[in-house]
Amino acid sequence: MAEQLKNLYSKEFIEKLSNKLLSIYSDFKKEDFINSIFDNTWQDLELKARMRYISTTLHKFLPFTYKEQLEILKKVKKDFGGLEAMIFQDFVEVFGLDDLDESLKALEIFTVNSSSEFAIRQFILKYEDKTMKQMKLWAKSQNEHIRRLASEGCRPRLPWAVALPKFKQNPAKVLEIIEFLKNDTSKYVQKSVANNLNDISKDNPDLVRKFVEKNLGISKELDWICKHGCRTLLKKGDKEVLDLFNFDKSHHINLTNFCYDKTIFLNEDFNFSFEISSDELIGNIRVEYVIYYLKSNNNHNKKVFMISQNHIESTKKIFQKKQSFKNMTTRKHYIGTHFIGILINGVEVLKKEFFLNDPRN
Protein backbone atom coordinates (compact mmCIF):
# COMPACT_ATOMS: atom_id res chain seq x y z
CA MET A 1 0.00 0.00 0.00
CA ALA A 2 1.13 3.53 -0.68
CA GLU A 3 3.14 4.95 2.22
CA GLN A 4 1.14 8.18 2.43
CA LEU A 5 -2.22 6.43 2.86
CA LYS A 6 -1.42 5.42 6.41
CA ASN A 7 -1.28 9.08 7.34
CA LEU A 8 -5.05 9.30 6.89
CA TYR A 9 -5.03 8.19 10.51
CA SER A 10 -3.36 11.30 11.81
CA LYS A 11 -3.40 12.94 15.24
CA GLU A 12 -6.12 15.23 13.92
CA PHE A 13 -8.24 12.25 12.90
CA ILE A 14 -7.85 10.54 16.28
CA GLU A 15 -8.63 13.81 18.05
CA LYS A 16 -11.81 14.24 16.00
CA LEU A 17 -12.81 10.61 16.62
CA SER A 18 -12.18 10.98 20.35
CA ASN A 19 -14.22 14.17 20.63
CA LYS A 20 -17.15 12.58 18.82
CA LEU A 21 -17.03 9.51 21.06
CA LEU A 22 -16.93 11.71 24.14
CA SER A 23 -19.96 13.69 22.97
CA ILE A 24 -21.98 10.47 22.73
CA TYR A 25 -20.49 8.48 25.61
CA SER A 26 -19.71 10.91 28.44
CA ASP A 27 -17.50 8.46 30.37
CA PHE A 28 -15.23 7.86 27.39
CA LYS A 29 -11.59 8.09 28.52
CA LYS A 30 -10.39 10.36 25.75
CA GLU A 31 -6.81 11.00 26.83
CA ASP A 32 -6.17 7.35 27.68
CA PHE A 33 -7.57 6.34 24.29
CA ILE A 34 -5.33 8.78 22.41
CA ASN A 35 -2.25 7.66 24.37
CA SER A 36 -3.08 4.03 23.66
CA ILE A 37 -3.23 4.73 19.93
CA PHE A 38 0.03 6.63 19.74
CA ASP A 39 2.24 4.11 21.50
CA ASN A 40 5.76 3.13 20.40
CA THR A 41 4.47 0.78 17.66
CA TRP A 42 2.21 3.26 15.86
CA GLN A 43 4.77 4.84 13.55
CA ASP A 44 5.73 1.51 11.97
CA LEU A 45 2.15 0.45 11.20
CA GLU A 46 0.86 0.70 7.62
CA LEU A 47 -2.70 1.61 6.61
CA LYS A 48 -4.60 -1.62 7.31
CA ALA A 49 -2.58 -2.32 10.44
CA ARG A 50 -3.46 1.15 11.75
CA MET A 51 -7.10 0.54 10.88
CA ARG A 52 -7.07 -2.70 12.87
CA TYR A 53 -5.21 -1.10 15.78
CA ILE A 54 -7.80 1.67 16.07
CA SER A 55 -10.76 -0.73 15.89
CA THR A 56 -9.33 -3.07 18.53
CA THR A 57 -8.47 -0.14 20.80
CA LEU A 58 -12.02 1.17 20.39
CA HIS A 59 -13.30 -2.16 21.64
CA LYS A 60 -11.23 -1.84 24.83
CA PHE A 61 -12.57 1.65 25.56
CA LEU A 62 -16.24 0.85 24.95
CA PRO A 63 -17.13 -1.49 27.85
CA PHE A 64 -20.52 -2.58 26.56
CA THR A 65 -22.18 -5.44 24.73
CA TYR A 66 -21.46 -5.69 21.01
CA LYS A 67 -24.93 -4.38 20.14
CA GLU A 68 -24.50 -1.39 22.47
CA GLN A 69 -21.07 -0.68 20.99
CA LEU A 70 -22.58 -0.62 17.51
CA GLU A 71 -25.24 1.88 18.53
CA ILE A 72 -22.50 4.27 19.67
CA LEU A 73 -20.39 3.72 16.54
CA LYS A 74 -23.37 4.26 14.22
CA LYS A 75 -23.77 7.73 15.70
CA VAL A 76 -20.04 8.43 15.47
CA LYS A 77 -19.83 7.26 11.84
CA LYS A 78 -22.12 10.09 10.69
CA ASP A 79 -19.16 12.48 10.92
CA PHE A 80 -16.76 10.27 8.94
CA GLY A 81 -16.55 8.98 5.38
CA GLY A 82 -14.26 7.53 2.75
CA LEU A 83 -11.34 5.21 3.40
CA GLU A 84 -10.67 6.55 6.89
CA ALA A 85 -14.17 5.53 8.01
CA MET A 86 -13.41 1.86 7.40
CA ILE A 87 -12.36 1.54 11.03
CA PHE A 88 -16.06 1.04 11.77
CA GLN A 89 -16.42 -1.80 9.28
CA ASP A 90 -13.19 -3.29 10.59
CA PHE A 91 -14.68 -3.25 14.09
CA VAL A 92 -17.60 -5.31 12.79
CA GLU A 93 -15.27 -7.71 10.98
CA VAL A 94 -13.22 -8.36 14.13
CA PHE A 95 -15.88 -8.39 16.84
CA GLY A 96 -19.13 -9.20 15.05
CA LEU A 97 -18.61 -12.57 13.41
CA ASP A 98 -20.76 -14.31 16.03
CA ASP A 99 -23.69 -11.94 15.50
CA LEU A 100 -24.62 -12.06 11.83
CA ASP A 101 -27.88 -10.10 12.00
CA GLU A 102 -26.54 -7.11 13.93
CA SER A 103 -23.33 -7.08 11.89
CA LEU A 104 -25.12 -7.02 8.53
CA LYS A 105 -27.31 -4.15 9.70
CA ALA A 106 -24.22 -2.25 10.81
CA LEU A 107 -22.28 -2.89 7.60
CA GLU A 108 -25.24 -1.61 5.58
CA ILE A 109 -25.10 1.66 7.51
CA PHE A 110 -21.32 1.94 7.57
CA THR A 111 -20.92 1.37 3.82
CA VAL A 112 -22.71 4.64 2.97
CA ASN A 113 -20.11 7.26 1.97
CA SER A 114 -17.45 4.65 2.71
CA SER A 115 -17.35 0.92 1.91
CA SER A 116 -17.88 -2.37 3.74
CA GLU A 117 -16.35 -4.36 0.88
CA PHE A 118 -13.52 -5.84 3.00
CA ALA A 119 -15.47 -6.62 6.16
CA ILE A 120 -18.37 -8.37 4.42
CA ARG A 121 -16.08 -11.06 3.06
CA GLN A 122 -15.52 -12.67 6.43
CA PHE A 123 -19.29 -13.07 6.73
CA ILE A 124 -19.49 -14.58 3.24
CA LEU A 125 -16.83 -17.10 4.25
CA LYS A 126 -18.65 -18.03 7.49
CA TYR A 127 -22.31 -17.59 6.48
CA GLU A 128 -22.26 -17.81 2.68
CA ASP A 129 -25.94 -18.48 1.97
CA LYS A 130 -27.37 -16.01 4.49
CA THR A 131 -24.94 -13.26 3.57
CA MET A 132 -25.45 -13.65 -0.17
CA LYS A 133 -29.22 -13.59 0.40
CA GLN A 134 -28.77 -10.24 2.12
CA MET A 135 -26.56 -8.98 -0.69
CA LYS A 136 -29.35 -9.72 -3.19
CA LEU A 137 -31.56 -7.44 -1.13
CA TRP A 138 -28.82 -4.80 -1.05
CA ALA A 139 -28.63 -5.01 -4.85
CA LYS A 140 -32.18 -3.57 -4.93
CA SER A 141 -31.46 -0.71 -2.50
CA GLN A 142 -32.23 2.91 -3.39
CA ASN A 143 -28.72 3.87 -2.21
CA GLU A 144 -25.89 3.41 -4.72
CA HIS A 145 -23.34 2.75 -1.96
CA ILE A 146 -25.37 -0.19 -0.71
CA ARG A 147 -25.96 -1.52 -4.24
CA ARG A 148 -22.25 -1.26 -4.95
CA LEU A 149 -21.47 -3.24 -1.79
CA ALA A 150 -23.57 -6.10 -3.17
CA SER A 151 -21.18 -6.36 -6.12
CA GLU A 152 -17.86 -5.20 -4.69
CA GLY A 153 -18.09 -7.32 -1.57
CA CYS A 154 -18.37 -10.62 -3.45
CA ARG A 155 -15.64 -10.04 -6.03
CA PRO A 156 -13.65 -13.29 -6.09
CA ARG A 157 -10.29 -11.47 -6.22
CA LEU A 158 -10.89 -8.08 -4.58
CA PRO A 159 -7.49 -6.33 -4.21
CA TRP A 160 -6.16 -5.87 -0.64
CA ALA A 161 -8.80 -8.31 0.59
CA VAL A 162 -9.05 -11.98 1.46
CA ALA A 163 -9.96 -14.03 -1.62
CA LEU A 164 -13.20 -16.00 -1.90
CA PRO A 165 -11.98 -19.47 -3.04
CA LYS A 166 -15.46 -20.93 -3.60
CA PHE A 167 -16.42 -18.04 -5.86
CA LYS A 168 -13.14 -18.31 -7.76
CA GLN A 169 -14.05 -21.92 -8.44
CA ASN A 170 -17.75 -21.38 -9.09
CA PRO A 171 -19.02 -17.77 -9.32
CA ALA A 172 -22.69 -18.69 -9.92
CA LYS A 173 -23.86 -16.76 -6.85
CA VAL A 174 -21.77 -13.75 -7.85
CA LEU A 175 -23.29 -13.78 -11.33
CA GLU A 176 -26.76 -13.70 -9.75
CA ILE A 177 -25.79 -10.40 -8.08
CA ILE A 178 -24.38 -9.10 -11.36
CA GLU A 179 -27.68 -9.89 -13.12
CA PHE A 180 -29.46 -7.65 -10.60
CA LEU A 181 -27.00 -4.81 -11.19
CA LYS A 182 -25.95 -5.00 -14.84
CA ASN A 183 -28.42 -2.28 -15.87
CA ASP A 184 -27.74 -0.01 -12.88
CA THR A 185 -27.74 3.69 -13.76
CA SER A 186 -24.97 4.58 -11.29
CA LYS A 187 -21.44 4.74 -12.73
CA TYR A 188 -20.15 3.87 -9.25
CA VAL A 189 -22.07 0.59 -9.39
CA GLN A 190 -21.26 -0.04 -13.07
CA LYS A 191 -17.52 0.13 -12.34
CA SER A 192 -17.91 -2.43 -9.57
CA VAL A 193 -19.90 -4.79 -11.80
CA ALA A 194 -17.24 -4.51 -14.51
CA ASN A 195 -14.45 -5.14 -11.99
CA ASN A 196 -16.33 -8.15 -10.68
CA LEU A 197 -16.62 -9.57 -14.19
CA ASN A 198 -12.91 -8.95 -14.72
CA ASP A 199 -12.16 -10.92 -11.54
CA ILE A 200 -14.33 -13.79 -12.75
CA SER A 201 -12.61 -13.79 -16.16
CA LYS A 202 -9.29 -14.73 -14.55
CA ASP A 203 -10.63 -18.09 -13.35
CA ASN A 204 -13.73 -18.65 -15.50
CA PRO A 205 -13.24 -16.90 -18.87
CA ASP A 206 -15.96 -18.95 -20.57
CA LEU A 207 -18.60 -17.60 -18.19
CA VAL A 208 -17.60 -14.02 -18.95
CA ARG A 209 -17.58 -14.70 -22.70
CA LYS A 210 -21.13 -16.06 -22.40
CA PHE A 211 -22.19 -13.00 -20.38
CA VAL A 212 -20.86 -10.68 -23.08
CA GLU A 213 -22.47 -12.67 -25.90
CA LYS A 214 -25.82 -12.36 -24.12
CA ASN A 215 -25.58 -8.68 -23.10
CA LEU A 216 -23.55 -6.84 -25.72
CA GLY A 217 -25.51 -4.33 -27.80
CA ILE A 218 -28.36 -3.77 -25.32
CA SER A 219 -27.25 -0.35 -24.07
CA LYS A 220 -24.23 1.95 -24.13
CA GLU A 221 -23.77 1.49 -20.37
CA LEU A 222 -23.94 -2.29 -20.53
CA ASP A 223 -21.54 -2.29 -23.49
CA TRP A 224 -19.07 -0.35 -21.32
CA ILE A 225 -19.47 -2.86 -18.48
CA CYS A 226 -18.86 -5.75 -20.87
CA LYS A 227 -15.73 -4.20 -22.38
CA HIS A 228 -14.27 -3.06 -19.05
CA GLY A 229 -15.10 -6.44 -17.55
CA CYS A 230 -13.15 -8.11 -20.36
CA ARG A 231 -10.04 -5.93 -20.10
CA THR A 232 -7.82 -8.77 -18.87
CA LEU A 233 -9.02 -11.09 -21.63
CA LEU A 234 -8.55 -8.34 -24.23
CA LYS A 235 -5.06 -7.64 -22.94
CA LYS A 236 -4.26 -11.35 -23.23
CA GLY A 237 -5.36 -11.25 -26.87
CA ASP A 238 -8.24 -13.68 -26.31
CA LYS A 239 -9.46 -14.23 -29.88
CA GLU A 240 -13.08 -15.00 -28.98
CA VAL A 241 -13.40 -11.83 -26.91
CA LEU A 242 -11.61 -9.73 -29.53
CA ASP A 243 -14.12 -11.02 -32.08
CA LEU A 244 -17.06 -10.18 -29.80
CA PHE A 245 -15.95 -6.53 -29.74
CA ASN A 246 -15.18 -6.53 -33.47
CA PHE A 247 -11.43 -6.29 -32.92
CA ASP A 248 -11.04 -9.11 -35.40
CA LYS A 249 -9.36 -7.47 -38.39
CA SER A 250 -5.73 -6.38 -38.60
CA HIS A 251 -4.57 -7.70 -41.96
CA HIS A 252 -5.62 -4.49 -43.76
CA ILE A 253 -3.48 -2.29 -41.49
CA ASN A 254 0.13 -1.35 -42.21
CA LEU A 255 2.51 -0.17 -39.50
CA THR A 256 5.24 2.18 -40.77
CA ASN A 257 7.72 4.84 -39.64
CA PHE A 258 8.48 3.14 -36.34
CA CYS A 259 10.97 5.32 -34.46
CA TYR A 260 12.29 4.48 -31.00
CA ASP A 261 15.16 4.99 -28.58
CA LYS A 262 17.60 2.15 -29.27
CA THR A 263 19.40 2.89 -26.03
CA ILE A 264 18.33 4.73 -22.85
CA PHE A 265 19.57 5.19 -19.31
CA LEU A 266 17.91 4.09 -16.10
CA ASN A 267 15.47 6.75 -14.77
CA GLU A 268 14.90 8.11 -18.30
CA ASP A 269 11.84 7.80 -20.53
CA PHE A 270 11.78 5.39 -23.44
CA ASN A 271 10.26 7.22 -26.42
CA PHE A 272 8.69 5.69 -29.52
CA SER A 273 6.32 6.63 -32.34
CA PHE A 274 4.75 4.97 -35.36
CA GLU A 275 2.07 5.33 -37.99
CA ILE A 276 -0.72 2.98 -39.00
CA SER A 277 -2.41 3.23 -42.37
CA SER A 278 -4.81 1.36 -44.62
CA ASP A 279 -6.21 1.51 -48.14
CA GLU A 280 -9.65 1.60 -46.48
CA LEU A 281 -10.91 3.19 -43.28
CA ILE A 282 -8.98 1.81 -40.32
CA GLY A 283 -12.22 1.14 -38.43
CA ASN A 284 -12.53 -0.58 -35.06
CA ILE A 285 -9.05 -1.00 -33.64
CA ARG A 286 -7.26 -1.81 -30.43
CA VAL A 287 -3.65 -0.59 -30.36
CA GLU A 288 -1.35 -1.67 -27.54
CA TYR A 289 2.35 -1.83 -26.85
CA VAL A 290 4.20 -4.46 -24.90
CA ILE A 291 7.47 -4.10 -23.03
CA TYR A 292 9.50 -7.25 -22.50
CA TYR A 293 11.25 -6.31 -19.25
CA LEU A 294 14.56 -7.98 -18.47
CA LYS A 295 14.42 -9.87 -15.17
CA SER A 296 17.19 -10.74 -12.71
CA ASN A 297 17.38 -14.30 -14.10
CA ASN A 298 17.93 -12.97 -17.67
CA ASN A 299 14.46 -14.00 -18.79
CA HIS A 300 11.92 -11.40 -19.89
CA ASN A 301 8.56 -10.48 -18.36
CA LYS A 302 5.88 -9.31 -20.81
CA LYS A 303 3.78 -6.30 -19.78
CA VAL A 304 1.01 -4.96 -22.06
CA PHE A 305 -0.06 -1.29 -22.09
CA MET A 306 -3.04 0.35 -23.82
CA ILE A 307 -2.57 3.07 -26.46
CA SER A 308 -5.97 3.36 -28.12
CA GLN A 309 -9.24 1.44 -28.31
CA ASN A 310 -11.82 3.05 -30.59
CA HIS A 311 -13.22 3.39 -34.10
CA ILE A 312 -10.93 5.41 -36.40
CA GLU A 313 -12.73 7.07 -39.31
CA SER A 314 -9.60 7.72 -41.37
CA THR A 315 -6.98 5.84 -43.36
CA LYS A 316 -4.00 7.05 -41.33
CA LYS A 317 -3.11 7.63 -37.67
CA ILE A 318 0.13 8.63 -35.90
CA PHE A 319 0.92 7.58 -32.34
CA GLN A 320 3.60 8.94 -29.99
CA LYS A 321 4.26 7.41 -26.58
CA LYS A 322 6.82 7.21 -23.81
CA GLN A 323 7.43 4.74 -21.00
CA SER A 324 9.23 5.59 -17.79
CA PHE A 325 12.20 3.47 -16.76
CA LYS A 326 12.40 4.93 -13.30
CA ASN A 327 12.62 2.33 -10.54
CA MET A 328 9.46 2.06 -8.43
CA THR A 329 8.32 -0.02 -5.49
CA THR A 330 6.24 -2.08 -7.93
CA ARG A 331 8.91 -2.52 -10.61
CA LYS A 332 12.69 -2.73 -10.54
CA HIS A 333 14.52 -2.36 -13.84
CA TYR A 334 17.57 -4.40 -14.78
CA ILE A 335 20.41 -3.23 -17.00
CA GLY A 336 20.51 -4.99 -20.37
CA THR A 337 18.46 -5.82 -23.44
CA HIS A 338 14.71 -5.18 -23.44
CA PHE A 339 12.15 -5.45 -26.23
CA ILE A 340 9.16 -3.42 -27.38
CA GLY A 341 6.27 -4.84 -29.39
CA ILE A 342 3.22 -3.27 -31.01
CA LEU A 343 -0.11 -5.11 -30.92
CA ILE A 344 -2.92 -4.44 -33.41
CA ASN A 345 -6.19 -6.11 -32.41
CA GLY A 346 -4.32 -8.56 -30.24
CA VAL A 347 -1.74 -9.48 -32.90
CA GLU A 348 1.91 -8.55 -32.40
CA VAL A 349 2.91 -6.91 -35.68
CA LEU A 350 6.33 -5.57 -34.66
CA LYS A 351 9.05 -6.34 -32.13
CA LYS A 352 12.33 -4.47 -31.62
CA GLU A 353 15.09 -4.58 -29.04
CA PHE A 354 16.59 -1.69 -27.07
CA PHE A 355 19.23 -1.47 -24.36
CA LEU A 356 18.88 -0.04 -20.85
CA ASN A 357 22.16 1.44 -19.57
CA ASP A 358 23.38 2.17 -16.05
CA PRO A 359 23.97 5.97 -15.79
CA ARG A 360 26.81 5.34 -13.33
CA ASN A 361 28.94 3.64 -16.01
Contact by Cβ (8 Å): 333, 274: no
Predicted structure pTM score? 0.88
What residues does CATH 2.60.40.10 cover in the chain?
A: 254-357
Per-residue pLDDT tens digits for 50-95: 999 999 999 999 999 999 999 999 999 999 999 999 999 999 999 9
**Mean pLDDT, to the nearest integer, of 187-203?**
98
Question: pLDDT tens, 103-129?
Answer: 999 999 999 999 999 999 999 999 999
Contacts of the segment 205-212: beta carbons below 8 A, 24+ positions apart: 205/233, 205/238, 205/241, 207/171, 207/175, 208/233, 209/233, 209/240, 209/241, 209/244, 211/175, 211/178, 212/241, 212/244
- Assess whether pLDDT exceeds 50 at residue 138: yes
Round to whole Å and give the CA distance between 92 and 144: 21
pLDDT value for 86: 96
In 3D space, the residue among 124, 64, 73, 137 whose CA is nearest the CA of residue 97 turns out to be 124
Measured between its terminal Cα atoms, the distance across the chain in Å is 33
Start and end residues for every CATH 1.25.40.290 domain found in the chain? 3-244
Please tell me the predicted confidence (pLDDT) of residue 251.
74
Q: For residue 1, what pLDDT band results from cuts at 50, 70 and 90?
A: very low
Query: Which residues share a beta bridge with 320?
Result: 273
- DSSP character at residue 216: T
State the average pLDDT over residues 262-288. 95
**Mean model confidence pLDDT for the chain:** 95
CATH second-level architecture of 3-244?
A: Alpha Horseshoe (1.25)
Of the candidates 217, 213, 214, 221, the one whose C-alpha atom is nearest the C-alpha of residue 181 is 221
Phi/psi of residue 172, nearest 5 degrees:
-55, -45
Q: Tell the CATH superfamily of the 254-357 domain.
A: Immunoglobulins (2.60.40.10)
DSSP 171: -
